[in-house]
């Protein structure tokens, strides 16, 4: 693989959620370790599943992977990092300041801004702390989905500039309290990221137009902050040998080849590797060792299977029927990146709008492509996107026009500096999210959320806001906050989207547990792009369909109170007509459920 030739010390794997970054990062770590290199694999994803892939518990400390000599791993746990960060700040003054003051500081440090700063602190230490990483030849970063990665990689520059200019005031006083001492570390992190001899960025994508457009944007944005040493890996490419006499396989192959022939211009000059789609789930060492080699020429033996749960599985149409009964409400689609939340959110919204209900379809995902998915307009349907940059600029302008109008020149300058802090975005995005979901009292609001890590950070901000309002209003007061709306099953239906694969199902189960801890009970699960629900003859697709059965049964029997199964389509569901097919009760002529028996 080109991206591993003469690998530098730091390797970053990034890309749109669900393209296989974690699997490729793990497989690369194994290969370098097998070559005698001492490797540290680090996940900076709030929704990390590196431990699940290796089948071991890793956590927020450097842990040797016993089955792989020379390999250790670390998962930067944002919540644990935030707690340690809070302890460092509050600990020295505990017992000195009044309890009420300590409580106020802890509340100030309870938001998502503190969580991100704390995780960033650990991230930069790995780049520049020689004592911490001196025992390793390579440090491989399995980064979060693209939006979070860009923010994480921009932070060294943003924070070092922020500190250099002396910015900051009340809104970030708590979270920023521990940063001043890190000025030298952040400057060194910027230098390490921009040094092509030390750092290589591997853009991971699928042979899909949306994933490659996202890779193109990431390429441009990260080049702009100095990460010029970039490689492209296109994962899960369907092999030509598997297309004979299988219409679905042929359709997938032709669709992908057309995309590969029309690579975005900016990506064509990058060193590029193609990794073939594998028949097996990428969990465990045996599977990971096969990921970077071609193994699809082997014969995939297929035993007889019972596909009853596929044949009898509820459809997405049945879920939409139940959603429509209320006449209005908030529908939130959540899940791991790359499982198809944007497509399914658009399908649900289009179906409800076609029935005559007013619908607002919105997204809080920085990498979402709602308008490209809809590819048109529809009566009763409005579409919006919570763009972090746009809503932050709007929020700044509003604060300056209202609060700033009452200040003198010096006070206004201080306010402007405060509003330039990296924490301002959190407040702005949260307010935009709150405005959108308030509409659900009169219409349907369908929310395509960001990948899991982003979503949990957003919900953390929502919860912090709820706690603050509750404290101010008192125990006996009656009030409504976004969190109360999310917790009310009469107002909100959360649909967890997954694929019938081991890692996405585990990720979805973890998300469900986190939501339940926040007092939010998921309403249904949707298993998307199921090969087992289609008619196939390709050995590779048959094997993948067979592997899906256990995951479908796990969802139906253990995780979901209700669920729906969405079959893999020959055509990408882009445009109103194809989106409606996903939620139609009518049989689709190219699908034959249970036909693999």
Based on the residue annotation, tell me whether 137 is a catalytic residue of this protein: no
| Active-site residue flag, 23 | yes
Tokens of 84: 């340690």
Half-sphere exposure of 1 (CA within 13 A, CB side): 24
Q: Which of 503, 530, 534, 538 is catalytic?
A: 503
Mapped onto helix, strand or coil, the DSSP state of residue 487 is helix
Kindly name the residue from 14, 23, 424, 455 that is annotated as catalytic: 23
| Alpha carbon distance, N-terminus to C-terminus of the chain | 38
Smallest CA-to-CA distance from 74 within 98, 96, 56, 100 is with: 56
The alpha carbon dihedral of 313, 318, 320, 325 has a sign of negative
Question: Is 111 one of the annotated active-site residues of the chain?
Answer: no
Query: What angle do the packed helices 183-194 and 146-164 form, to 10 degrees?
Result: 130
Q: What is the spatial distance between Cα 371 and Cα 28, in angstroms, rounded to a whole number?
A: 36
Which of 15, 20, 111, 453 is an active site residue?
20
Q: Are 147 and 453 in contact (CB under 8 A)?
A: no
**Residues 72 and 171: beta-carbon distance below 8 Å:** no
Query: If you search the block for the tokens 């390579």, which residue do you land on?
Result: 138
- The answer to whether 33 and 69 have CB atoms below 8 angstroms apart is yes
Beta strands in 285-403 (DSSP E): 329-334, 359-363, 381-385
Distance CA 543, CA 279 (A): 6
Q: Is 141 helix (H, G, I), strand (E, B) or coil?
A: strand
Q: State the burial class of residue 374 (Cβ atoms within 10 Å of its Cβ: 0-12, 13-18, 19+).
A: buried
Point out the catalytic residue in the list 21, 167, 336, 493. Answer: 21
Choice among 14, 15, 17, 22 that is catalytic: 22
Instruction: Please name the residues in contact with 213: beta carbons below 8 A apart, sequence gap of 6 or more.
Output: 264, 369
- Cβ-contact 570, 529 below 8 angstroms: no
Q: Rounded distance, CA 132 to CA 129, Å?
A: 5
Whether 21 sits among the annotated catalytic residues: the reply is yes
Marked catalytic residue, from 15, 17, 18, 404: 18
Tokens of 245: 């006499």
Is residue 87 among the annotated active site residues? no
Q: Around Cβ 561, how many Cβ atoms within 10 Å? A: 9
Q: Which of 17, 45, 77, 218 is catalytic?
A: 45
How does DSSP classify residue 41?
E
**Catalytic residue numbers, as ranges:** 18, 20-23, 45, 503
């Amino acid at each position: 693989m080109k991206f591993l030739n003469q690998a530098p010390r730091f390797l970053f794997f990034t890309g749109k959620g669900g393209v296989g970054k974690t699997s490729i990062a793990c497989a690369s770590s194994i290969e370098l370790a097998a070559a005698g290199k001492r490797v540290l694999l680090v996940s900076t994803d709030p929704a990390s599943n590196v431990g699940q892939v290796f089948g071991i518990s890793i956590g927020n400390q450097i842990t040797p992977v016993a089955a792989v000599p020379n390999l250790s791993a670390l998962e930067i746990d944002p919540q644990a990092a935030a707690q340690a960060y809070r302890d460092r700040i509050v600990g020295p003054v505990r017992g000195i300041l009044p309890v009420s003051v300590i409580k106020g500081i802890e509340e100030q440090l309870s938001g998502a801004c503190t969580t991100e700063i704390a995780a960033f602190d650990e991230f930069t230490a790995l780049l520049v702390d020689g004592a911490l990483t001196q025992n390793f030849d390579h440090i491989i970063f399995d980064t979060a989905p693209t939006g979070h990665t860009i923010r994480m990689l921009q932070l060294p520059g943003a924070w070092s500039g922020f500190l250099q200019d002396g910015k900051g005031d009340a809104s970030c006083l708590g979270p920023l309290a521990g940063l001043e001492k890190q000025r030298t570390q952040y400057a060194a992190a910027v230098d390490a990221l921009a040094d092509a001899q030390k750092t290589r960025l591997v853009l991971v994508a699928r042979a899909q137009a949306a994933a490659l457009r996202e890779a193109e944007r990431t390429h441009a944005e990260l080049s702009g902050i100095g990460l010029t040493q970039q490689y492209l890996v296109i994962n899960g490419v369907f092999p030509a040998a598997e297309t004979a006499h299988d219409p679905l396989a042929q359709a997938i192959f032709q669709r992908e080849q057309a995309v590969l022939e029309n690579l975005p211009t900016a990506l064509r000059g990058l060193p590029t590797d193609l990794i073939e789609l594998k028949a097996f789930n990428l969990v465990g060492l045996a599977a990971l060792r096969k990921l970077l080699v071609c193994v699809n020429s082997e014969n995939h033996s297929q035993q007889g299977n019972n596909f009853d749960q596929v044949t009898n599985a509820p459809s997405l149409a049945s879920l939409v029927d139940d959603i429509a009964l209320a006449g209005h409400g908030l529908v939130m689609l959540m899940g791991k990146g790359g499982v198809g939340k944007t497509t399914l959110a658009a399908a649900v919204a289009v179906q409800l709008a076609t029935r005559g209900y007013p619908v607002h379809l919105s997204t809080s995902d920085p990498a979402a492509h709602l308008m490209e998915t809809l590819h048109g307009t529809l009566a009763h349907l409005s579409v919006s996107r919570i763009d972090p940059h746009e809503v932050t600029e709007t929020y700044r302008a509003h604060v300056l026009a209202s609060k700033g109008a009452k200040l003198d020149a010096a006070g206004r300058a201080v306010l402007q500096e405060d509003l330039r802090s990296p924490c301002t975005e959190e407040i702005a995005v949260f307010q935009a999210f709150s405005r959108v979901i308030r509409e659900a009292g009169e219409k349907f609001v369908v929310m395509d959320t960001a990948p899991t890590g982003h979503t949990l950070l957003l919900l953390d901000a929502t919860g912090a806001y709820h706690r603050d309002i509750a404290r101010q209003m008192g125990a006996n007061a009656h009030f409504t906050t976004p969190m109360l709306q999310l917790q009310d099953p009469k107002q909100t239906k959360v649909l967890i989207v997954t694929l019938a694969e081991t890692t996405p199902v585990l990720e979805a189960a973890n998300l469900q547990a986190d939501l339940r801890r926040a007092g939010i009970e998921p309403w249904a699960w949707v298993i998307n792009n199921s090969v087992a629900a289609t008619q196939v003859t390709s050995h590779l697709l048959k094997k993948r369909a067979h592997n899906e059965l256990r995951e479908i049964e796990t969802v139906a029997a253990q995780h979901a109170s209700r669920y729906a199964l969405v079959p893999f389509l020959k055509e990408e569901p882009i445009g109103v007509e194809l989106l409606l097919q996903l939620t139609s009760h009518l049989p689709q002529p190219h699908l034959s459920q249970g036909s693999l028996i």
